[in-house]
């Protein structure tokens, strides 16, 4: 799969087969994700695998579409708001890399922002100064939604003198 095809054909997956994901594959995708750009090489991502008890407490409306794996991706705190933003940006790049690595292997990811709420942060045991970039359901797709067309990129471009 070339990069452009991978980027364009990846979809948010909301219905998963029960088939497990091999830990070795997950670690391969996470390791690949860690090649995301990050300022000062501070590698600000942290991953929490969500076990059955914690997952039940989260009460996600579709239980992450039945994904066999749920994990939370956190962004580390920083001394200034600007550096905190940079960390969040780097961790978003990490997540996109993970999505693409999983996609290339025929798996898929549901990126949920539910980890943002105070209640879910508490359930996930997130320290006060960390950001939750996403709670991700990962598995093999039972259903792949149709492509969602994007706005022509030329309408988003301005050329400065
Ligand atoms: C930061 C972020 C948070 C998201 N949170 C949710 C969410 O809570 N629930 C959801 O259904 N989709 C969520 N999504 C997925 C988007 O809905 C999805 O990417 C968008 O509809 C485009 O579809 P595609 O990923 O298949 O191209 C999130 C995506 C991002 C980047």
| pLDDT of amino acid 157 | 98
Whether the CB of 113 sits within 6 Å of ligand 1: yes
**What is the DSSP code string of the chain?**
--HHHHHHH--B--EE-S----HHHHHHHHHHHTTS--GGG---EEEEE--HHHHHHH--TTGGGG-SEEEEEEE---SSHHHHHHHHHHHHHHHHHHHHHHHHTT-EEEEE-GGGSHHHHHHHT--TT-EEEEEEEEE-EEE-PPP-PPPPGGGG-----
pLDDT at res. 159: 98
Q: Is the pLDDT of residue 1 over 90?
A: no
User: What is the per-residue pLDDT across 81-115, written as a single tens digit (0 to 9) for each?
Assistant: 999 999 999 999 999 999 999 999 999 999 999 99
Which of 61, 89, 93, 111 should be mutated for ligand 1, with most atoms under 8 A from CB?
111
Give the per-residue pLDDT at 99. Answer: 98
pLDDT digits (tens, 9 = 90+) for 6-51: 999 999 999 999 999 999 999 999 999 999 999 999 999 999 999 9
Q: Which domains does the chain have, with CATH numbers?
A: 3-145 (3.40.109.10)
For residue 99, how far is its CA from the centre of ligand 1 (angstroms)? 12
Distance 110 CA to ligand 1 centre (A): 7
pLDDT tens, residue by residue, 111-161: 999 999 999 999 999 999 999 999 999 999 999 999 999 999 999 999 999
| 117 pocket-lining for ligand 1 (C-beta < 6 Å) | no
87 CB less than 6 Å from ligand 1? no
Give, to the nearest 10 degrees, the angle between helix 81-104 and helix 23-33: 140
Over residues 52-75, the pLDDT tens digits come to 999 999 999 999 999 999 999 999
């Amino acid at each position: 799969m070339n990069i452009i095809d991978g980027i364009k054909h990846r979809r948010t997956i909301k219905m998963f087969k029960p088939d497990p994901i091999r830990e070795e594959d997950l670690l391969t995708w996470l390791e690949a994700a860690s090649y995301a750009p990050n300022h000062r090489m501070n590698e600000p991502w942290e991953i929490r695998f969500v076990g059955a008890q914690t997952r039940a407490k989260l009460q996600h409306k579709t239980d992450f579409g039945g994904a066999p794996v749920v994990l939370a991706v956190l962004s580390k705190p920083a001394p200034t708001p600007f550096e905190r933003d940079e960390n969040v940006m780097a961790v978003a790049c990490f997540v996109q890399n993970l999505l693409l690595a999983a996609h290339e292997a025929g798996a898929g990811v549901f990126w949920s922002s539910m980890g943002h709420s105070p209640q879910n942060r508490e359930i996930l045991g997130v320290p006060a100064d960390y950001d939750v970039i996403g709670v991700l359901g990962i598995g093999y797709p039972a259903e792949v939604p149709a492509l969602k067309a994007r706005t022509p990129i030329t309408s988003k471009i301005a050329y400065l003198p």
